[in-house]
Amino acid sequence: MTATQTGNGARWVDIERGIIGRDIFVSDEIYAREMQQVFGRAWLFVGHQSQIPNPYDFFVSRMGAESVIMTREKTGQIHVFLNTCRHRGMKVCRYDQGNARVFTCPYHAWSYSVDGNLTSAPGGLAGVPQYKAIYHDELDKSQWGLVPVAKIANYKGSIWASWDADAPEFETYIGGMKLYLDAVLDHRDGRPGGSEIIGGIQKWKVPSNWKFGAENFIGDLYHITSHRSVDMVSIGPSGAGRRDTPIVKHQGAKRPPPFASIGFPNHGHGVIGNLPHYEEQDYVPQFTLTPEVEEYYRHIYHARVANLGGQKRGLAAVGTIFPNLSFHGMQPRALFTWHPNGPREMEIWKWYLVDADAPAAVKDVLRRYYLRYAGPAGLTEQDDMENWNYATSASAGMEAGRYPYNYQMGLGYERPAPDLTDAVYTTAVTEQNQRIFYQRWAQYMDAESGDRLHPERNSNFADMLARRRA
Amino acid sequence: MTATQTGNGARWVDIERGIIGRDIFVSDEIYAREMQQVFGRAWLFVGHQSQIPNPYDFFVSRMGAESVIMTREKTGQIHVFLNTCRHRGMKVCRYDQGNARVFTCPYHAWSYSVDGNLTSAPGGLAGVPQYKAIYHDELDKSQWGLVPVAKIANYKGSIWASWDADAPEFETYIGGMKLYLDAVLDHRDGRPGGSEIIGGIQKWKVPSNWKFGAENFIGDLYHITSHRSVDMVSIGPSGAGRRDTPIVKHQGAKRPPPFASIGFPNHGHGVIGNLPHYEEQDYVPQFTLTPEVEEYYRHIYHARVANLGGQKRGLAAVGTIFPNLSFHGMQPRALFTWHPNGPREMEIWKWYLVDADAPAAVKDVLRRYYLRYAGPAGLTEQDDMENWNYATSASAGMEAGRYPYNYQMGLGYERPAPDLTDAVYTTAVTEQNQRIFYQRWAQYMDAESGDRLHPERNSNFADMLARRRA
Amino acid sequence: MTATQTGNGARWVDIERGIIGRDIFVSDEIYAREMQQVFGRAWLFVGHQSQIPNPYDFFVSRMGAESVIMTREKTGQIHVFLNTCRHRGMKVCRYDQGNARVFTCPYHAWSYSVDGNLTSAPGGLAGVPQYKAIYHDELDKSQWGLVPVAKIANYKGSIWASWDADAPEFETYIGGMKLYLDAVLDHRDGRPGGSEIIGGIQKWKVPSNWKFGAENFIGDLYHITSHRSVDMVSIGPSGAGRRDTPIVKHQGAKRPPPFASIGFPNHGHGVIGNLPHYEEQDYVPQFTLTPEVEEYYRHIYHARVANLGGQKRGLAAVGTIFPNLSFHGMQPRALFTWHPNGPREMEIWKWYLVDADAPAAVKDVLRRYYLRYAGPAGLTEQDDMENWNYATSASAGMEAGRYPYNYQMGLGYERPAPDLTDAVYTTAVTEQNQRIFYQRWAQYMDAESGDRLHPERNSNFADMLARRRA
Amino acid sequence: MNTRESAIDALLLQREIETFYYVEAELLDERRFEEWLDLLTDDIVYFMPLRRNVKFGSQDEAENSVEGVDAAWFDEGKHTLTQRVAQIKTGIHWAEEPLSRVRHLVTNVQVTDAGPGIAGARELGVKSRFLVYRNRVDDETDIFVGQRADRLRKVDGAWKVARRVILLDQSTLLAKNLTFFF
Amino acid sequence: MNTRESAIDALLLQREIETFYYVEAELLDERRFEEWLDLLTDDIVYFMPLRRNVKFGSQDEAENSVEGVDAAWFDEGKHTLTQRVAQIKTGIHWAEEPLSRVRHLVTNVQVTDAGPGIAGARELGVKSRFLVYRNRVDDETDIFVGQRADRLRKVDGAWKVARRVILLDQSTLLAKNLTFFF
Amino acid sequence: MNTRESAIDALLLQREIETFYYVEAELLDERRFEEWLDLLTDDIVYFMPLRRNVKFGSQDEAENSVEGVDAAWFDEGKHTLTQRVAQIKTGIHWAEEPLSRVRHLVTNVQVTDAGPGIAGARELGVKSRFLVYRNRVDDETDIFVGQRADRLRKVDGAWKVARRVILLDQSTLLAKNLTFFF
Ligand code: FES
Ligand code: FES
Ligand code: FES
Ligand SMILES: [Fe+3]
Ligand SMILES: [Fe+3]
Ligand SMILES: [Fe+3]
């Protein structure tokens, strides 16, 4: 990556040398720029359609540092609006979720519709008290509705939005990573979608820059030593460790392709999982402590074999979709966002996933496992947040600021991923995906990034391969 | 208003289109500039003479973000000084009120006089321990007294001050708004002054920009819908609603001129009340739940008719004197300041007023009514602060920042106010006064505002009328 | 001092007129610059060797706003490292003190040695999990060890360090002030060193700029009036006042040279104490409330007479070594640092000192006296922090900011100190030392200070004498 | 009755009063406000003065604003308290919509006087201390600490609050509003 | 037994339960976690729901996440609690290394029901309120306030917690983690 | 005496001690400091150690500074405590002028031992927990939480504090000073 390619980005990120300055984690200026350049232009995860099943249901979410309302109108169509009144800015909805046909501002009662039938446009300004008498019919209501997102996408039930009308289409934005997002969202038996959100979103504030979360989940296999304490106490669903390791033991078994870090340089996404394959590996018992769940997994394994046949598939352990949506794909199974609350704090939101039609007993076991593993009370993730907290504060030091961080692991050892047109991979533990993430971040931070924000016209993938060691 | 007219101000405020940017409510830079340009040059309310009735009494108040001491010297003269030692800045007085002949700094005991007899000048450096021995008589004490305000005015007992020696005289600064300030400060029977402060100033911190308070009280009749909950429970002194509505019911009664928003474009002040008139309307019973108070109002009504005769008078419900003094003129009756504590917090100070010679029983009923209506525990004002709080936080959003606020209500419908030379008015609900406030604010924020800070040389009034619709 | 001499410094500090702007105590910009220019280049006190007596002992301290680890390797050599991992910045040691052969980062387990035998260099990167497999032996470990200080000095057991490789040697940096630092660190019987730290460092946060502490202890004799309340209750070790006053009463007694403010203009240090002398004054009883302690002091007095003979000596009451190490030299006896936590907060760390071989009973009496005098619960120092707190907040005012502080006391009355080559002194109460401190501060803040950071090439001493009044 | 028996009477009374306060706290925090109103006499005086910073020695006359004369945070009776409850119940009292999460921690319960006596007391003086925690919407959080000096009166066999003087340990109120009860 | 005697029984029980909670708090804050585990029945249900901001009138169904169905902060039994203790004891549970300084202040202890009766009770419903203060490393500080609704059961003559529902008065958790016990 | 009677003795003692602490808190917060001094024996030991962050397993020896040997926040007797009171009373002790608004919330009162026995005890070990709230001038606010481990001794028929060890749950003190009493 050269300076000309990334403009401002290069000031902080030197991908060729695997060096990144500490100030990107603490600088107020860089943070303000992130709001505009990254969160103002990228696709952001907003929520899941299963959270608003009925007409007029709404869920209040966030995009970057701002509050948004995800609504479902009578027709079933889903909308996302900025949660602020156009008159004086009052937050029009201060509930976490609910059902409402109209959002009436508490201050002067301007009322916004969520239903195309009530006014000309969803989110449009439906009611303005004394409109004729005091606005003399001159206020152009069509210009003063709730601010809608520029683009919205519903991908297998997951709702995404962007403030940038020039943003690439969602499927272009997600690129080959789609295969791994499917692995999270699809039913375990292979049916598209078919997962749902467990009621209740965990939300908590962590004194850490948001990127520490994103980079950790995009490919930080290296930090497992940090979790030794939880491995020692064995919270895994089959007893040992903290999760099942789906590795076939016996000879001549069908195995999936190697577990690897797979990154998408033109997109900024990355995942730790198995390379694409076309056949299921042999069944490996899971959740053996709870026979009914093990039975369920055995059952859907066979269903999956039947449903998918020779289709291409991937397996995802953890991953991040640029910029701030990460996921757990296997154990536990969740989507989470790293919302920026200033450079030194983030607010984590966690959505837990299960197969929508799984038996209650199975859902219960999974839920309990998820909760002991993840979130602020999760035996595993508590230690992650501790590391991010103190990494953030240490990034602010005057003297420390002279020593950039090291992202050199596996630098130059990336290979083109088979069966993927836009991905590289490394089987050994590597920081390949973190480099991909920050290179993409630098491009978004670059004022003149223009074309390169469109993955298909970006050259990171080609450049990275060109830089490979012989 | 053109850019040349307001210089920097125009960056944020577009009065001709009725559009104001959100960042004026959250930007640190704008806030710092406000301190210099607005609070460093405008007249600010400091307190009331009835708070320091005796020689050497003092009351610690604020001007903008800074602490000041209002003192009364033996001669009865009132002074206002910055509450900081000239030696190392220690706050010389950390009491809220009291009586002292000298303010001795806790740190090194420099002592400042409040009495012209003790040293050459009030606030002068009266005592410097070991002056001769260690300062060798060389320290020029006359240059190191407490910092006095550049200008001070006592208007009917209300004390005002400015840091700007070039500020217009107070009566010029207040302009035609004087009529409505009189309505607040004069005795209800029409005698000039004659009101006093109820002991105890309410002070509390609100996570809101200070301007949301000022703009609300200058003319926001529109937000009454926000108070529906209190109207429903009827805290008014005659039972219904939250206050008495002094409207004569019977046929052919003497009525005051219409209730209107009256604004002073060259000054930045505004009021909601009745246009000037020369005769009292017929008596309308008030406080009917408490006969002794109703009786008092009936009695002073007749006294007022006699005292005022054919004099011009006004009636004020609520108003704001630029920049941060607002008042309730009828029910309740109070003066309050919106002190800036950074862009996102203000500290509200509330002084409650009653006729000084009203019977104790009347004062008691009024006081109880004021307290249930106003302040942080007031059933009415609690909801105002909630709106300002969330309007402020929403003003900070990156995406939200792209959507300025709407101040178009009644734009172009202003008329010259009869019997006032420098005011416009609108009888319908309007944002006329808010526009006047922010246009004036923009002029103060403008570095080269110069002459325009003198109302008599300002053209806002003429410009606004020139912009009126046919 | 002219503008050319101090460059940026002159913007804030006018030593010739004895005027210093308030913003140096509150400005974020000035604070950020202090971190680089002052704390990034000066010698800073880190701790005392008696805190880490054994191999592998460590003590976590601070340099400016950053955490550092002071370690002792097996050879006994002491090192100081930045307490942040080179990989992602995690704070590698979160204990206050302890014993460890290696510091293993909690996040990814990079392990840093404190022992030259474990790896090539102390603080070097001893262990990198899976080094060969994932870093392909390509990571240059020698470049990624803990960040060591550029310079370190052990002066009579006190440990000092600097981030600046071009900093003068410590003894040059300390200059003639050495005589007074000796008075604090040496055994009371005159033996070099011989003092030790009482276990337990007091650490607390104070809402004050760090310089208010430094300037108070460098020479603020003037503020004793502030301590009148403690003098009235007599916490002194002999009953009266708050400390013993070692003044010989009887006729013809041997007295020390006058008590004076002694400052080092080329260095920025200063002390309140007695000018150098070559003979002990007559014994003056101390701690008369506790005979065993009085006896101890009498005993070591005679030992001191014998040990020192005709050597030069000084007596130090209080002093500051630029920038942020202050001390109490007599009663109590302590070293303390003013750590900056942003412009408006400091964290004070206090190390109490006693003769290492004093009897337990003596140590106990001293310790109890120190604790009732000093620290956040100390009857004396509580009032100091109160003053600094409110002096800091008052420094931030818009209007107040127009009124610089007064440092004119004794301006022009400095005399060359006898028996010292680089010091001036004033016997009367003066702000000489404060001026010296801020003049030095201004030089450090000056980007082009270059040579002047080397005391021997600095001209402040000569300039000050040249400016003296006839 | 011997001293041991009267000591036991005091114990029983203490427990009775602590229970009263715990039940009151529960009603408030579970937002059972009408039931809470039933714990107040119809002539209750509910007073919370302003606090001031004044010179040493003048605290007694100047530290607190004066009941019935000066401004205060609260100086009211049951009628207004009932209106406050009614306002919350409208569901459009925006300062409490959505409702705050409020928790009353009551400590240091001291029965200071009992009339006519411990046994068969019909009126009590009781001091207690509170920490009121209020959290709402996303992260709005306030902590209020102070003392309540109550007069309790027995009405139809049940204790009710006849007078409550609340001393909040703040001079400038460190909250945007007081939309809940102490 | 006359009413006075049964009133005294209630006093004794109240005291017994308060002591139980004070001892529990002591074990937790002195990090005697294994001893604390002994105060829990083997079948304990330890549940702490998420809290939500919802429209007036819908609190009952929507304010708290549902036990056994929804996500929560804690929804577990003794096995997991025991693992939490074991993890802290490894000495490498970084979120608790160095250990936090935790203090449990327990107030408003209310015995809401006793079975079969006050005298000789074998199972109790008890509500109490807590302020949990957590401070660690340099200046990390969290204050948690809320209510515990417990079922206590007498096992081998000693009270044990059979069920604990913790209501934390926060919607968005204002802490980076929950590495301690309520 | 049967067990019920001795249980009642324990109740009476507990109440007596809780009252003692509530009265003490009242004297402190009403700034009746001389009266508070009367609640301390002349030989009282008043100790508040420093707290440290140390490696798991070394807490017992290293977490708290050692009484009589190390530095501490307080390690003194009645004479110094009396001087502290006298200093405040000068009216020119700037760190307490104007006076702070201080409130002591006392909880978890546990009598840990009584000598020679519950009935007729003359010396007691008592643990309690505190939340001390301090607010002053405009918006200075500090919250201190921790434990007091006291020895109470009966002198002339009245309980007095003979020894108080205060554990503040902070390592770096998060306040500018300690100008009040725990
Ligand atoms: S702010 Fe929403 S209607 Fe006025
Ligand atoms: S600061 Fe006021 S006398 Fe020094
Ligand atoms: S941050 Fe220290 S090893 Fe990664
Ligand atoms: Fe992890
Ligand atoms: Fe209003
Ligand atoms: Fe001092």
Looking at beta carbons, which residues of chain C come within 8 Å of A225?
108-109, 129
| Other Cβ atoms within 10 Å of B100 Cβ, number | 16
**E66 and chain A in contact, CB less than 8 A:** yes
Contact C82 A390 (CB under 8 A): no
Q: Is A372 in the pocket of ligand 1 (CB under 6 A)?
A: no
Round to whole Å and give the CA distance between D69 and D46.
14
Q: What are residue E155's DSSP bridge partners?
A: E158
Contact C239, C289 (CB under 8 A): yes
Place of tokens 């309302």: A69
Which residue lies with its CA nearest to atom 4 of ligand 1?
A: A108
Q: How close does chain F come to B245, measured CA to CA in Å? A: 38
Q: Quick one: CA torsion of B241, B247, B249, B252, rounded to 10 degrees?
A: -170
Residue B7 — very low, low, confident or very high, per pLDDT cuts 50/70/90? very low
Residues in chain F: 182
* β-bridge pairing F158-168 and B13-14: unpaired
Give the 3-state secondary structure of chain A: CCHHHHCCHHHHEECCCCEECHHHHCCHHHHHHHHHHCCCCCCEEEEEHHHCCCCCEEEEEEECCEEEEEEECCCCCEEEEECCCCCCCCCCCCCCEEECCEEECCCCCCEEECCCCCCCCCCCEEECCCHHHHHCCCCCHHHCCCCECCEEEEECCEEEEECCCCCCCHHHHHHHHHHHHHHHHECCCCCCCEEEECCCCEEEEECCCHHHHHHHHHHCHHHHHHHHHHHHHCCECCECCCCCCCCCCCCCCCCCCCEEEEEECCCCEEEEEEEEECCCCCCCCCCCCCHHHHHHHHHHHHHHHHHHCCCCEEEEEEEEECCCEEEECCCCCEEEEEEECCCCCEEEEEEEEEECCCCHHHHHHHHHHHHHHCCCCCCCHHHHHHHHHHHHHHCCCCCHHHCCEECCCCCCCCEECCCCCCCEEECCCCCHHHHHHHHHHHHHHCCCCHHHHCHHHCCHHHHHHHCCCC
- C57-91 pLDDT, tens digit per residue, is 999 999 999 999 999 999 999 999 999 999 999 99
Round to whole Å and give the CA distance between B174 and B155.
10
Contact F12 D14 (CB under 8 A): no
Residue C247 — very low, low, confident or very high, per pLDDT cuts 50/70/90? confident
- A328-363 pLDDT, tens digit per residue, is 999 999 999 999 999 999 999 999 999 999 999 999
Cβ neighbourhood burial of F150 (10 Å; 0-12, 13-18, 19+): buried
Of D55, D87, D172, the CB nearest to B204: D172
- Per-residue pLDDT at B430: 97
Looking at beta carbons, which residues of chain F come within 8 Å of C386?
94-95, 176-177
Mean pLDDT of the residues in chain A: 94
Residue B3 — very low, low, confident or very high, per pLDDT cuts 50/70/90? very low
Round to whole Å and give the CA distance between A399 and A404.
11
Mean pLDDT of the residues in chain C: 94
Q: Is C108 in the pocket of ligand 3 (CB under 6 A)?
A: yes
Looking at beta carbons, which residues of chain B come within 8 Å of D100?
none
Contact A400, C92 (CB under 8 A): no
Residue A245 — very low, low, confident or very high, per pLDDT cuts 50/70/90? confident
Structure tokens at B404: 């300025």
Least confident of B139-143, B448-452, C147-151, C220-224: B448-452
Q: Is C106 in the pocket of ligand 3 (CB under 6 A)?
A: no
Contact B95 F98 (CB under 8 A): yes
Q: What are residue E1's DSSP bridge partners?
A: none
Residue B253 — very low, low, confident or very high, per pLDDT cuts 50/70/90? confident
- C305-323 pLDDT, tens digit per residue, is 999 999 999 999 999 999 9
- Per-residue pLDDT at A4: 36
Q: Measured in angstroms, how far is the CA atom of residue A92 from the centroid of ligand 1?
A: 8
Whether residue B249 has pLDDT greater than 80? no
Residue A7 — very low, low, confident or very high, per pLDDT cuts 50/70/90? very low
Contact C249, F113 (CB under 8 A): no
- A288-299 pLDDT, tens digit per residue, is 999 999 999 999
Ligand 1 nearest atom to the CA of residue A89, by list position: 1
Mean pLDDT of the residues in chain E: 97
- Per-residue pLDDT at A119: 64
Structure tokens at A243: 């999760």
Q: Check contact F-A (3+ Cβ pairs < 8 Å).
A: no
- C417-453 pLDDT, tens digit per residue, is 999 999 999 999 999 999 999 999 999 999 777 789 9
Task: Report the candidate in C265, C276, C355, C356 with the shortest Cα–Cα distance to residue C315.
Answer: C276
Contact C268, C434 (CB under 8 A): no
The long-range contacts involving D30-36, CB below 8 angstroms and separated by at least 24 positions, are D31/D88, D31/D99, D31/E59, D33/D85, D33/D88, D33/D89, D33/D181, D34/D85, D36/D85, D36/D181
Q: Is A58 in the pocket of ligand 1 (CB under 6 A)?
A: no
Round to whole Å and give the CA distance between C411 and C397.
27
Q: How close does chain D come to E147, measured CA to CA in Å? A: 8
Q: Which residues surround ligand 6, an ion (CB under 5 A)?
A: C 384
Residue B316 — very low, low, confident or very high, per pLDDT cuts 50/70/90? very high
Whether residue F102 has pLDDT greater than 50? yes
- Per-residue pLDDT at B464: 94
Which of F2, F53, F103, F108 to probe the E interface (max E CBs under 10 A)? F108
Contact C397 B65 (CB under 8 A): yes
Q: Measured in angstroms, how far is the CA atom of residue C118 from the centroid of ligand 3?
A: 19
- Per-residue pLDDT at B4: 36
Contact A94 D139 (CB under 8 A): no
Contact E99, E88 (CB under 8 A): yes
Helices (H) and strands (E) in chain C, counts: 13, 23
Round to whole Å and give the CA distance between C110 and A178.
34
- Per-residue pLDDT at B434: 98
Mean pLDDT of the residues in chain B: 94
Task: Report the candidate in B184, B193, B190 with the shortest Cα–Cα distance to residue B307.
Answer: B190
- Per-residue pLDDT at C6: 42
Ramachandran class of E53: left when φ > 0, alpha when ψ lies in -120 to 50, beta otherwise: beta
Structure tokens at E127: 């509500």
Q: Measured in angstroms, how far is the CA atom of residue A224 from the centroid of ligand 4?
A: 6
Residue with the bigger pLDDT between B117 and A465: it is A465
Q: How close does chain B come to D132, measured CA to CA in Å? A: 16
Over range B316-336, report the average pLDDT: 97
Looking at beta carbons, which residues of chain E come within 8 Å of F54?
98
Contact C405, C19 (CB under 8 A): yes
Q: Check contact F-B (3+ Cβ pairs < 8 Å).
A: yes
The long-range contacts involving A291-297, CB below 8 angstroms and separated by at least 24 positions, are A292/A359, A292/A361, A292/A362, A292/A365, A293/A237, A293/A361, A293/A362, A293/A365, A293/A366, A296/A358, A296/A359, A296/A362, A297/A188
CA-based Rg of chain A, rounded to a whole angstrom? 23
Whether residue B118 has pLDDT greater than 70? no
Contact B244, B408 (CB under 8 A): no
Of C95, C106, C205, the CB nearest to E94: C106
Ligand 3 nearest atom to the CA of residue C109, by list position: 3
Residue D2 — very low, low, confident or very high, per pLDDT cuts 50/70/90? confident
- E110-158 pLDDT, tens digit per residue, is 999 999 999 899 999 999 999 999 999 999 999 999 999 999 999 999 9
Q: How close does chain A come to D85, measured CA to CA in Å? A: 20
For a pLDDT cut of 90, what percent of chain A falls above it? 89
Task: Report the candidate in A3, A15, A2, A7 with the shortest Cα–Cα distance to residue A33.
Answer: A7
Helix (H/G/I), strand (E/B), else coil: B178? helix
**E98 and chain A in contact, CB less than 8 A:** no
| pTM score | 0.97
Least confident of A112-116, B260-264, B346-350, C386-390: A112-116
- Per-residue pLDDT at B218: 98
Inter-chain contacts counted by CB atoms under 8 A, chains D and F: 74
The ipTM is 0.97
- A418-458 pLDDT, tens digit per residue, is 999 999 999 999 999 999 999 999 999 997 777 899 999 99
- Per-residue pLDDT at B31: 98
Q: Report the residue among A82, A102, A110, A128 best suited for mutation to probe ligand 1: largest number of ligand atoms under 8 A from its CB.
A: A110
- Per-residue pLDDT at B312: 96
Over range C3-13, report the average pLDDT: 60
Whether residue B19 has pLDDT greater than 80? yes
- Per-residue pLDDT at A149: 98
Q: How close does chain D come to B73, measured CA to CA in Å? A: 19
Place of tokens 């999990």: C129
**D65 and chain B in contact, CB less than 8 A:** yes
Contact D169 F133 (CB under 8 A): yes
- Per-residue pLDDT at C2: 34
Looking at beta carbons, which residues of chain B come within 8 Å of D54?
95-98
- F123-172 pLDDT, tens digit per residue, is 999 999 999 999 999 999 999 999 999 999 999 999 999 999 999 999 99
Which of D172, D181, D182 to probe the B interface (max B CBs under 10 A)? D172
Neighbours of chain B (3+ CB pairs under 8 A): A, C, D, F
Q: Report the residue among A81, A82, A84, A85 best suited for mutation to probe ligand 1: largest number of ligand atoms under 8 A from its CB.
A: A85
For a pLDDT cut of 90, what percent of chain B falls above it? 88
Round to whole Å and give the CA distance between E147 and E108.
9
Q: Which residues surround ligand 4, an ion (CB under 5 A)?
A: A 384
Give ligand 2 pocket residues (Cβ under 6 A): B 85, 87-88, 90, 105, 107-110
Over range B233-261, report the average pLDDT: 86
DSSP F51: B
Residue C119 — very low, low, confident or very high, per pLDDT cuts 50/70/90? low
